[in-house]
Amino acid sequence: DARVTQTPRHKVTEMGQEVTMRCQPILGHNTVFWYRQTMMQGLELLAYFRNRAPLDDSGMPKDRFSAEMPDATLATLKIQPSEPRDSAVYFCASGHTGQGRVDTQYFGPGTRLTVL
């Protein structure tokens, strides 16, 4: 069973520290999504890539967040510096998309981030 993997599963850090989250999408999927889930805001789309190119990162605070896909098997989400309000569960999802086609998004297990 192909799955999206995310590391680390849990991260506790102190305010001001850099945090890097990693995602390995399902092989063959051309689109990768980053979401953030909190009780207050629900599920928010932060950014997404197709064929490794960023398509939309309007949901991301630009001053501290950055997302990249160094290669087709790795997506990263970085927060620098981290703040307590960044505490959330961060999900990566992958799927196959194109104009007029929307396939299922497959979610990873998430990274639970706590910033003290």
Shorter beta-carbon distance to other proteins: residue 45 or 74:
45
Please choose, out of 14-22, 60-68, 73-81, 100-108, the segment that lies near other proteins by the rule CB under 8 A: 100-108
Instruction: Take residue 82 and report the two structure tokens written for it.
Output: 């981290």
Q: Is 18 helix (H, G, I), strand (E, B) or coil?
A: coil
> Contact 74/68 with Cβ under 8 angstroms?
no
Instruction: Take residue 108 and report the two structure tokens written for it.
Output: 């990873």
Please give the residues from 62 up to 91 whose contact with other proteins meets the rule CB under 8 A: 91
Shorter beta-carbon distance to other proteins: residue 33 or 65:
33
Query: For residue 94, what are the β-bridge partners?
Result: 32, 106
Give the residues lining the site for other proteins (CB under 8 A): 4, 31, 33, 42-43, 45, 48, 50, 55-56, 91, 93, 95, 97-99, 101-110
